[in-house]
A and B are shown apart, each in its own frame.
Chain A
């Protein structure tokens, strides 16, 4: 069976298109509208991103069984950054798959939060759908969304993956930049931590 040149060209294009769809997890980039979501927190209360317009929103991917989330909980990194920026809405999100060794039942999760004085809501994304929509790769992976619902910062909480000496808290700087009417710089960097347990 011979193929017309047009058909062959179409087939090549289709193949090229299919080949482009790599298996990786695509990360949401700065300047894109943050995908809306509706998730419940550990107490069962529903949160929708669309209903939070008008205030900056911080999303923190969290896993209490990941040493990076634990270290920041112990060092009060997130708690103190949230407290210093009361205008922003801070939400933890757990995309840990139920059945994974790291997954915690709500009661255990709540005990962890209470032990570390974490009072912001933690939303359950058991299907991982929201994590995938944002391209959340690590715990903690941080996303700062501006008051208009546009992604303003994505990346690490700070420049200290090894927990030796922090020089910049990127989320604090991003929130400060937004409060001053500017854009965070850098808008994005590489997050660090454990992988999200999808």
Chain B
């Protein structure tokens, strides 16, 4: 019963959120929630964080590393979510359902914005389904287009996100932040460490100069056109307390869940089954996949890396065919030898003494 009431509340809130962006024709149950939203959205004070925009699933706000920003400095923004218990928002590959948040900056001077994704975690859902994302809290750091600088003033944005618990609710909410201008940018004591901490959780590229390596190999896993990818990481001085591997979504491939293996000589080895999404099409001759490896640490500090693979697949069907043709050739050769030997022995037999 309580679940039903909860569901009804979520539904009405979701309707409100949609309607607040569309127009003033609100059904009665929405009026109070919408009024709250409106109060929250009006006239934010200058600060390093915007007002929280709340829903039953999450509250979300725009934050900056600066409490005042100098002309010419990038405003260093992040989108911060505080999620209600049991709710999650998504990584760039959301898993079996859902989608990641999208941010649209509406302050002309800043150009386009892209969210960066801290290392996520996996959520096992009923029915063998999985979600990849974040629970409790997350800050998605914002990457602005190159050369994008601010000079204080109002920053407005719209965030379009899906939050899921037992149920999923899409939201589209307007965020605002007013950054005071100053001669020198001033790090905010509350938001700067938080944004920096989440920025540090965004996977980085492997440092080849420091001996950090990834070795990736594709193998044909029995049945064509299925492939098995083996990805091994070697990183000096790192530990693997909770290793996890994630892949970006691929239109061409279905990527199953990676399996972790501890192997001598590598920090972590993962094996993952991969197959073409549409086997009726010729198998792609290359596997291009973005990966993120998380759950590592060095001297207690969490570590995560990302990179992209570009491996030749030698087309599963072609490899399968070549295996068969090798077999056929071997049988043919064996028959040839048998025939040759038997003819020679017959020839020997007819030689008169």
Contact = CB atoms under 8 A, between A and B. Distances in A.
A121 interface: no
Interface in B167-219: 167-170
Interface in B87-137: 96-99, 102, 124-131
A131 B256 CA distance: 18
A67 interface: yes
Interface in B227-274: 249, 251, 254, 256-257, 259, 271, 273
Contacts of A101: 3-4, 6-7, 166-167
B167 A186 contact: no
B62 interface: no
Contacts of B319: none
Nearest to B2: A101
Contact of A188 (B98, B127, B166, B277): B277
Contacts of B130: 24
A138 B99 CA distance: 12
Given A19-B259, A192-B97, A97 B3 contact: no
A179 B187 CA distance: 63
A65 interface: yes
B99 A100 contact: no
Contact of B275 (A29, A100, A102, A189): A29
Contacts of B160: 162, 164
A24 B257 contact: yes
A44 interface: no
Given A67-B169, A188-B278, A25 B254 contact: no
B278 A195 contact: no
A22 interface: yes
B128 to A, nearest CB: 4
Contacts of B283: none
Interface SS of chain B? mixed
Given A27-B254, A186-B278, A190-B249, A67 B168 contact: yes
Contacts of B125: 195
A30 B7 contact: no
Contact of A67 (B14, B124, B275): B14
Given A101-B3, A190-B251, A163 B280 contact: no
B129 A137 contact: yes
Contacts of B102: 162
B46 interface: no
A66 interface: yes
Nearest to A187: B278
A165 interface: no
* Interface-centre pick from A25, A68, A187, A188 (highest chain B CB count, 10 A): A188
Contacts of A100: 166
Interface in A21-52: 22-25, 27, 29-31
Contact of B126 (A19, A66, A186, A198): A198
A132 interface: yes
A22 B129 contact: no
Interface string B61-102: 000000000000000000000000000000000001111001
Interface in B5-52: 6-7, 11, 14
A118 to B, nearest CB: 18
A138 B97 CA distance: 6
A116 interface: no
Contact of A128 (B6, B127, B166, B254): B127
A131 to B, nearest CB: 7
Contact of A132 (B99, B127, B166, B256): B127
B164 interface: yes
B5 to A, nearest CB: 10
A3 interface: no
A-B complex: 4 closest residue pairs judged by Cβ atoms? A198-B127, A101-B3, A187-B278, A25-B128
19 contacts: A22-B259, A23-B128, A24-B129, A25-B129, A29-B278, A30-B279, A31-B280, A67-B170, A101-B167, A131-B127, A137-B97, A187-B277, A189-B251, A195-B96, A195-B126, A195-B129, A195-B168, A196-B127, A198-B126
Given A25-B96, A68-B170, A190-B249, 16 more contacts: A22-B259, A29-B279, A30-B278, A66-B167, A101-B4, A101-B166, A102-B167, A131-B127, A161-B99, A162-B102, A163-B170, A187-B278, A192-B97, A194-B164, A195-B126, A195-B164
